[in-house]
Structure 1
């Protein structure tokens, strides 16, 4: 058990450094593309390559983690991000920058998929929900602190210097990944078969993840527009509050994830998410907007670990990586598909109606949870084995 705990927190710390590297890019990369004189359409094309590559790469990353091992794929992800970041300073060619953006996306997809699959492998079954919930806080901590810190230090670092900082953190995260022990396979001599179709057992978990993605995507993508149209309220503090709140929720609520009623926690999560979006739809006071951000963060913090666990339980033990990939695929489709679905609402009825519709969609999760099979109570059991090599 002690070895598994050590490997878990080492994986958590490695993930934190990787996310610091990734979120360091948020501020300098678009500014760098502007600084070298690229037109807006090329900037949009380069930045947008990330989303398309992510959707394509998720299933591949999951299968790679199942076949070659999670730690190996984490190392490949850190290396791909390092190449994608370090190469930016060496070129101004739009085509090369597009390829480098694909490397960044491939690195992000590979690392995040494999690191969560590794946590599933390390976690004792009776503690898996809580450990997955806490693990997600690494990204939240990095997202809360990194962009604001880099933005404040940008005059000192310069754009190229900030990009090198991102590369340095990617390199360090890869080095730390080498220290992680290889988890014992779920089944000795069992390798998940390669398949591109979505298993029927994963359809409901993916639908639930997509509903969560619609709500999160509305908040994340349209909050700046909402605050701008409500009198120019700063959205930055609301994003920071979101990041701090979801990290706090993950750490505080994790202790109940393994012992509490899973359906009840899921319903509470979707309810808080919907309430937060509804508050955004009808509020103009900053305090109410802050409460809305807190509700969205708390709901998301309750949902994500449990939703990922539903995917893991829907697939065989030898397909941990594919299970994590399907979770992310459903969530990302909810973000992208939700934006397309809500865009006509924005055009016809405005930003408030958009958030109200997003709240309605999020609330459907409360109903869908009824179809989630009840999980049997699991007594604390032996942890997953960890090799020392």
Structure 2
């Protein structure tokens, strides 16, 4: 009996040759559109920032290193001499003192009052739209008009504020002579304009807080104040950080209010309310007309704002990275029941 070896398998048929497919121009354009279009969409902001923000910043640094006058134009290169001259000016240190004082009198009460107003507007009020639009009206008023009105309110002789103080037996306050009263008056102008604007930002953040958290807090027996400090404030912490940073930047750049506080616009006879931006304006366009020193003041103010902004960012980041308040067992159960009811609707 003979054994036959199995026949070898038949070779697989060769696949027909296919020429490489050429990608059409429309497909290439589509790929470019997917990759490039996001950058094109955001490019206008960066182009505008480069033209109106970055270039003036660099150009100001160049001007601060030269003798530069309004009529003579660019002069000799002097290095950091403009900065040294600014440091030797007493009015520069007065302007820094006034700027920080007005900033503290305005920003701290402004944030606190804005949160309180937002909490009230977040309640079930009648004519809610009317009240919400009403708090924004001061922001629409021109700063010059606000300055004229508050300048008369805080007038030393015939002001309405001094008339009220006299009616209750308090001596009139020299709002345009003393340092602290003038800062309080200017800070009140700033608060009048910006408190309602910040309140609407806080209101938008409060309306984004899940209502289930309030329901859980109510079941746990928390009152309105407890709900506000244990639920609302932790949930809008990022918005509070944003408002604090923007208020810091705006408060250190205050110009309109001290400029129109009196009829001269020079910061007072003894520079009682001269701010750094007002001092910068006087150096560049006032009696001295020295662009080099004005540019040096601008850069010093920029460095101060960056330094304070970094401190604010570090503090608020440390606060925001803290442990969030934990819900109790009843709160977790109420939260779960509310989510289950919502899914079954």
Q: TM-score, normalised by structure 1?
A: 0.30
- Which protein is bigger by CA-based radius of gyration? 2
Question: In proportion to residue count, which structure has more helix?
Answer: 1
